[in-house]
Every structure is written in structure tokens, then in C-alpha cells.
């Protein structure tokens, strides 16, 4: 290659190494291309100060190795130099050894002439091969055959139609020649702009280190790679499922960055849910049409694309190997508009869908689903430390506090990162001061993410969500169905919805588990609503708050449930006529003159409580210590013979009104 400028190597190497031959290329096409590279901030190798000889110099070999992309500009004179052919061999060897990105431009030459070494190109090649060894000639010939197979820009595709048009409309030769060159320059400028854009995009696609230091990312990528089965030619759709804030999008981005260069076209379409809802109140078909138009415009790089039916995506992509990530999908209609099945895409295509709704994946018949699990205790502490201290472990004096905050997030990556950033740079004393608020209040940034899952529920499922957040977390499924079985809430179906939305999980022993931050969010929503409704509380939680409601007898008919209540005033709950669930605690510390200590061994207190319970006409379930049921009181009160025994064992008394 030959072009004027310095050959000094910048730190980190070059973006592009151009390989070319001939003054005709250097003074016209290449000079304009280098100007466009410079305008786009692309650092290009230039070798005017390197002395040429029979063999490629060590400096040139180093420049090839240090460049991220090698751009080979093949022209009629390219094979007229043994130096240039040596460059080509070195470039292709680097491509084979290290995966070097190689791009081609066929400038005023047919790619078949390069592949077969024919025409003017072949004549120049044969002249260069004179007095060369057979081994050398075969190496060059194989290199030319290989480089001709690399897809690239062909100038004939830009200029050919133009020349045909000119010759048809302007048969007078001199007129053709006078008009042709300005039009050709315009077409060449368009081609140069396209090449520069492609090079810039390719530079952006080179392997990044953005996700290298994410805790646990190696295991996630290994699991995803296994599910994607990239060696197969089948078209495969893989779902990534898990609760909000678990890191689904991060995992999808990491795998996308790792494998996208292996596909003809690739697109990471973030927040599909938001794009779909931007359509406003349009009908369902219009929303899907608009979403598909946005999708095709991006993956085909075609601005303002117009489509008229939903089959367009299949027509345009069914022969192309594509990688598509559809992030944050929440409706089946979105998948129907963007990826309605493997036949829409070419062989070897991979579609990745992230969602917090497992039912959506199953309904779309996606068989390969990766469930993202919570990080381990050690991984959670490391994630938090990276966010709070920009290192992998807490510094001296912070360990116990960091462990406590980590446990408060129940290892949710979103919570770990948000709280870590909020506490970053604070002193130990400030951490200590902020802990009480972290324990009782949900960080706004965390809430804004988690609330999305709640908002996607219908009213009945929201009610079940509240009951679990406020009363039944950690309880068995049969306990919940007993208490709420006649509530009209479709408990079994509703629990299934909450599981599919990753808002709860049900263990093998049928215990219901809700993440601490989700539980905190649910209770916070209840608290805010009670304030808005002038203390018309639906659930009473927290000893101090319930103490005032119960002791001052200010409860309203809106109350559905309370937790850990100490009852000494038989009128305290009389106004709460809609009460469905009460949980009494075993002991309650004396709060002053209004409330005495409640101890189940104290017969007078127990009997006082039972007189109030007798007024619950719909009382059907009660759970108490065995000793309490042996009290003579129960033998005297036949009205309670309809009560069912409850298997609830984690509280001393549970009462439910169905």
C-alpha cells in the first residue's frame, strides 16, 4: 500500500489498515474514503515512510496485527505488486489465527476476475508471478481466491445502472462524457459514505469488555450458549425469564455482544413494551403494524420504512440469518408482530426474548427458557461491593454493615446496585444512620422498577398480591386457600399468575415465598392508600401503628387483615366489620396504660378475646396452641362447633372470616 502520512503507531493500535495498489485508487477513491474516516473519528494506518522492498516489512506486519479491521481495496492493478500480495497473505493469516475482521471493496473490477485471476487482473497477476517459486505463486493464488469470497462493496453495483441509463438516453458520446463524471462522483460519494458507515458499525461490534467484570456473568453466558445451540442450523427462540431487577436485560446484552458478529443481521430491540404502548389508543392490529415497522426499519437499516401487512417481516427475513433480542416483552401480541415463529427467519437464526411473564413464553410455544436465579450470598456481597466501594469486597470497618444491607435486598441485583450507589462514599456513621430507613422504606429507584410487575396484574390478582405481602408470605398454599377460599378471588389461578410473573415462588413443600423488596413494596402501597383514604386501612401492619389503631379503637370497616395484634379491648375491633383475618401474637410488651401485656397463660385475657370472637358470625377457621383449646371455655361455647382446625403453626391464633 502507499499513501502519504506518518506511520507512527498510536497507543492501542489502529482502527483500520487499508490494503490497496495504484495511483488511480490512491488519488481518487482512497483519498476521499480516508477523509470520510477522519470525519467519523476512525484512526487509519498510513505507511508513506515505510521503505518498500521485495518482502513485507516487520513494521507492516505489526500494523496489521494492531489494526482492528483490515480493508482490502481490490482494483485491476492490485495484483501487480508482490508487496501488496504479501500484505494480503499476512492479513488472511491474521484473520485465520485471531479472527481479524476483514472487509473488501471491489473497485471497478468484477469479483469473479479476482477469484479466477482472469481479465486485466489476471494479466497483472501472471506478470507479478514471473520468476517466483511455485510455492509463492500458490500462496498468492489461494489468498486471492479466498478474499474474493468475502462479501463487500462492488462499485459496479453503484455505477453500472447509471452508465446504462446514460448510454440509453445520451447516445452522443461527447455529451455522455461531459455529463457522466459529475454524476459518477455523486454515486462514488454515496458508496464511500456507505463504506465508512459499515466500518464504523463494525468497529462498534468488535468484542467489548463491558460485561467482563459482572459477577456471575460467565455462568449465565455458558447456560445461554448451551440453550442457543449455535452450532445448529435450526432457527431457535430462547426465553429469559425471572423477576424484575434480576438482570435479564444485562444477560441478554452480554450474550448479544458476544455472538452478534456471527449473523448477517442483528438487532437488540430494547423495551418492546414501551415501544408497543407508544401507539396510544390505536386498535390492536395498528399497534402490531407500527411495532413491526419500527423493527424492520432498524434491522434492515431502512429509515421511514412503510409496511402494509404483518407478513412483511417474514418476506424480508426468511432467507437471512439474524440475531434478534426482544427485551422486556409483556404481551403476546408483541411476539406475534415481531417473531411469530421460526419460519419467519432464515436458517441458523436466533431470537432471544426477555420477560417476567413465563406464561407468555409458554403461550408462544417457546420451549427453551432460561430461568435467572438469585445470586449466592457471596456473589450478592460482591455485587453490592462493586457498586458501593468500586471493588470486590467491603473495606475495613464496613463488612458487617455491607452484609446487613445485602441481606435487606434479599440478593436482588437491582437492589444491590441501587443501594450500593446510594451509600457510595458515605462514612460508617452515615451508613448506620441510614439503615433504619432502608429497613422500613423502599428506595424510589427500586420501587419504580418493581411496581411495573404489580401494575401488570388485574384487580383480583393485585388483591391476592396484597394478602401475601401483608399476611401470608412464608405460609403454605393450603393456608391461603382456606382463608380466602370463599372470597371470589380465584385463589389457585391467582397464585399461578403471581408465580408466572415471578412475583412469588412456591417451594416444593408448598410454602409461598415473596421477595422482601416486593413484600415491602406491597405494604408501602397499602400504607399510602390508607393515608389517601383518611386512615381507612385495608391491612394493619407493624406493632406501633396497629397499637394506636387497636388501642384507640379507630379501625374502620375497610380493614381486611392485621398481623401480630395484642387484643385486650373487646371494642377495639368492633368497628372493623369487614375483617377477614387476624393474627394474634404470643406476647406483647406493655405499651402503657392503654394496653396490658398479653400472655396466653392469662385466662382473663384469653376469655376476653374469645367473647369478641363469638361475635364473628362467619368465623370458620381458627389456629391456636393446643393448650389453648383445652381451656374449659371451649366446652361451654357450642356456637364455635363449626370451626375447622387449621394447620397453621407459625402463629398463636389465626382467625379468618370467609
Known catalytic residues are 87
Give Cα 375 to chain centroid, integer Å: 17
CB atoms within 10 A of CB 203: 17
438 Cβ neighbours under 8 A, 6+ residues apart: 405, 408, 419
With residues binned 3-state (H G I as helix, E B as strand, rest as coil), the percentages for the chain, rounded to 5, are 50, 15, 35
What whole-number distance in Å separates Cα of residue 526 and Cα of residue 471?
12
Are 622 and 647 within 8 A, CB to CB?
no
Question: Does residue 416 contact residue 389 with C-beta atoms inside 8 Å?
Answer: no
CA angle 374, 380, 386 (to 5 degrees): 135
Q: Where are the beta strands (DSSP E) in 232-271?
A: 236-241, 265-269
Q: With both helix axes pointing from N to C terminus, report the angle between 134-148 and 82-98 in degrees, rounded to the nearest 10.
A: 60
350 vs 270: CA distance, rounded Å: 16
Distance CA 242, CA 255 (A): 17
Strand partners, 73: 105
Are 568 and 595 contacting, i.e. CB atoms less than 8 angstroms apart?
yes
Which residues are within 8 A (CB) of 342 and not within 5 positions of it... i.e. 6 or more apart? Answer: 234, 235, 236, 237, 349
- Measured CA to CA in angstroms, residue 49 lies from 3, 87, 147, 269 at distances of 9, 16, 27, 46
Amino acid at each position: 500500500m502507499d499513501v502519504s502520512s506518518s506511520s507512527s503507531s498510536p497507543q492501542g493500535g489502529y482502527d483500520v489498515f487499508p490494503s490497496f495498489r495504484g495511483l488511480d485508487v490512491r488519488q481518487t477513491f482512497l483519498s476521499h474514503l480516508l477523509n470520510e474516516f477522519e470525519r467519523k473519528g476512525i484512526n487509519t494506518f498510513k505507511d508513506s515512510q515505510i521503505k518498500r522492498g521485495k518482502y513485507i516489512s516487520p513494521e507492516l506486519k505489526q500494523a496489521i496485527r494492531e489494526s482492528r479491521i483490515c480493508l482490502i481495496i481490490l482494483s485491476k492493478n492490485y495484483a501487480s505488486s508482490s508487496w501488496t500480495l504479501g500484505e494480503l497473505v499476512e492479513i488472511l493469516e491474521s484473520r485465520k489465527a485471531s479472527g481479524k475482521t476483514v472487509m473488501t471493496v471491489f473497485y471497478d473490477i468484477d469479483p469473479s476476475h479476482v477469484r479466477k485471476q482472469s481479465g486485466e487482473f489476471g494479466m497483472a497477476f501472471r506478470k507479478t508471478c514471473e520468476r517466483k517459486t511455485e510455492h509463492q505463486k500458490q500462496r498468492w493464488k489461494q489468498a486471492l481466491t479466498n478474499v474474493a469470497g468475502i462479501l463487500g462493496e462492488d462499485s459496479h453495483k453503484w455505477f453500472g445502472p447509471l452508465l446504462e441509463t446514460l448510454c440509453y438516453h445520451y447516445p452522443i458520446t461527447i455529451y455522455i462524457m461531459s455529463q457522466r463524471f459529475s454524476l459518477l462522483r455523486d454515486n462514488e460519494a454515496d458508496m464511500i459514505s456507505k463504506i465508512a458507515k459499515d466500518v464504523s458499525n463494525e468497529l462498534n461490534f468488535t468484542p467489548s469488555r463491558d460485561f467482563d467484570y459482572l459477577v456471575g456473568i460467565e455462568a449465565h453466558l455458558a447456560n445461554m450458549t448451551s440453550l442457543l445451540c449455535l452450532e445448529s442450523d435450526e432457527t431457535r427462540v430462547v426465553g429469559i425469564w425471572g423477576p424484575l431487577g434480576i438482570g435479564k436485560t444485562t444477560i441478554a446484552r452480554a450474550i448479544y455482544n458476544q455472538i452478534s458478529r456471527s449473523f448477517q443481521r442483528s438487532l437488540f430491540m430494547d423495551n418492546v413494551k414501551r415501544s408497543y404502548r407508544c401507539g396510544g389508543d390505536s386498535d390492536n392490529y395498528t399497534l402490531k403494524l407500527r411495532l413491526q415497522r419500527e423493527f424492520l426499519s432498524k434491522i434492515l437499516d431502512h429509515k421511514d420504512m412503510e409496511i402494509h401487512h404483518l407478513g412483511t417481516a417474514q418476506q424480508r427475513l426468511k432467507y437471512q440469518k439474524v440475531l434478534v433480542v426482544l427485551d422486556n416483552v409483556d404481551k403476546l401480541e408483541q411476539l406475534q408482530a415481531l417473531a411469530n415463529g421460526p419460519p419467519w427467519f432464515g436458517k441458523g437464526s436466533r431470537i432471544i426474548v426477555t420477560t417476567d411473564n413465563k406464561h407468555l413464553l409458554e403461550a408462544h410455544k417457546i420451549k427453551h427458557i432460561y430461568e435467572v436465579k438469585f445470586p449466592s450470598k457471596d456473589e450478592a456481597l460482591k455485587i453490592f461491593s462493586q457498586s458501593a466501594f468500586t471493588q470486590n469486597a467491603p473495606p475495613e470497618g464496613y463488612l458487617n454493615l455491607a452484609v446487613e444491607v445485602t441481606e435487606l435486598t434479599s440478593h436482588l441485583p437491582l437492589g444491590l446496585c441501587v443501594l450500593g450507589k446510594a451509600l457510595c462514599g458515605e462514612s460508617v456513621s452515615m451508613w448506620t444512620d441510614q439503615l433504619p430507613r432502608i429497613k422500613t422504606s423502599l428506595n424510589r429507584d427500586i420501587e419504580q422498577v418493581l411496581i411495573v410487575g404489580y401494575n401488570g396484574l388485574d384487580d383480583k390478582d393485585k388483591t391476592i398480591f396484597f394478602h401475601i405481602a401483608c399476611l401470608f408470605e412464608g405460609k403454605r398454599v393450603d393456608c391461603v386457600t382456606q382463608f380466602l377460599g370463599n372470597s371470589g378471588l380465584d385463589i389457585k389461578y391467582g397464585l399461578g399468575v403471581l408465580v408466572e410473573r415471578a412475583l412469588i415462588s412456591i417451594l416444593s413443600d408448598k410454602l409461598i415465598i415473596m421477595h422482601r423488596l416486593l413484600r415491602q413494596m406491597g405494604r408501602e402501597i397499602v400504607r399510602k392508600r390508607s393515608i389517601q383514604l383518611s386512615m381507612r386501612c385495608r391491612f394493619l401492619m407493624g406493632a406501633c401503628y396497629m397499637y394506636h389503631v387497636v388501642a384507640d379503637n379507630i379501625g374502620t370497616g375497610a380493614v381486611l387483615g392485621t398481623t401480630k395484634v395484642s387484643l385486650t379491648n373487646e371494642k377495639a375491633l368492633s368497628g372493623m366489620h369487614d375483617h377477614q383475618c387476624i393474627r394474634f401474637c404470643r406476647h406483647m410488651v406493655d405499651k402503657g396504660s392503654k394496653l396490658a401485656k398479653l400472655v396466653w397463660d392469662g385466662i382473663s385475657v384469653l376469655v376476653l378475646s374469645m367473647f369478641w370472637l363469638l361475635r364473628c358470625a362467619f368465623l370458620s377457621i381458627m389456629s391456636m396452641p393446643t393448650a389453648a383449646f383445652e381451656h374449659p371455655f371451649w366446652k361451654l361455647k357450642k356456637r364455635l362447633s363449626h370451626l375447622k382446625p387449621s394447620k397453621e403453626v407459625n402463629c398463636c391464633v389465626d382467625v379468618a372470616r370467609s
